[in-house]
Amino acid sequence: MKFLHTMIRVRDLEKSKEFYTNVMGLKLHRQTDYEGGRFTLAFLGLGGDTEPFLELTYNWNTSDYNNGDAYGHMAFGVADIYATCDKIAQAGGKITRPPGPMKHGKTVIAFVEDPDGYKIEFIERK
């Protein structure tokens, strides 16, 4: 078994691609329009083609979604969480929880929010 991707629905594909590539530093690997289904899929990742991807799904005739209350967050490990958050803030990203130790623990974490309100956790891994 191999983990392939996580999919989230986005309201504005260009705005979401801009956030995930320019603010988060992911790379767009491929994008495909499905005329018959009236949707577009964009796959982003950290580099190589063998890693898990983030799939952005844009439905052409849908302008809004309810993100629901069951979704938690996606998480990325980073070597320097303070520098990462500074870079994201300078690029216009929204830091919703500044870097610091998690409650009841010592692990340093931070949270960012994407243009659709999805939460992204950073975990410092030295």
CA triple 62-33-12, angle to 5 deg: 40
Asked if 124 is an active-site residue, the reply is no
What architecture is domain 74-124?
A: Roll (3.10)
pTM equals 0.87
Residue among 18, 55, 113, 121 flagged as catalytic: 121
Question: Model confidence over 85-119: pLDDT tens digits?
Answer: 999 999 999 999 999 999 899 999 999 999 999 99
Non-local CB neighbours of 62 within 8 Å, separated by 6+ positions: 9, 11
pLDDT surpasses 70 at 1: no
User: For the chain, what is the mean pLDDT?
Assistant: 93
Q: What pLDDT, on the 0 to 100 scale, is given for residue 30? A: 94
pLDDT surpasses 90 at 70: no
Q: What pLDDT, on the 0 to 100 scale, is given for residue 50? A: 72
Give ranges for CATH 3.10.180.10 in the chain. 5-59, 74-124
Question: Model confidence over 8-31: pLDDT tens digits?
Answer: 999 999 999 999 999 999 999 999
Pick the CATH number of 5-59 from 3.10.180.10, 1.10.1660.10, 3.10.300.10, 3.40.50.300: 3.10.180.10
